Amino acid sequence: MTLKTLRARAKAIGIRIEADRDDCGWGYWLIDQRTGEGPWADENFSTSHDELEGKLRDLERERVPAT
């Protein structure tokens, strides 16, 4: 899944994805748009798109009520 697609999914549930690049590669932070902090006390950092997708799936389950 592309970062653009992941950001669109994140935006739909009030999350922003910020990308960082360092000597080890790319890293991604999940930021709650309401508070400016991560949605969880820890585990707001991901190192791959697959990891981001899994965390977004968990957040979607938490934030979107089942119909």
Domain ranges for the chain, please list them: 3-57
pLDDT tens-place string over residues 27-58: 999 999 988 888 887 889 999 999 999 999 99
Specify burial of residue 8 (Cβ count, 10 A radius: 0-12, 13-18, 19+).
Answer: exposed
20: Cβ contacts below 8 Å, ≥ 6 apart: 26, 27, 28, 29
Which is more confident, 41 or 59?
A: 59
Q: What is the pLDDT of residue 57?
A: 95
pLDDT over threshold 80, residue 5: yes
37: Cβ contacts below 8 Å, ≥ 6 apart: 31
Q: What is the pLDDT of residue 67?
A: 65
Q: What is the pLDDT of residue 42?
A: 81
What is the C-alpha separation between 58 and 62, in angstroms, rounded?
6
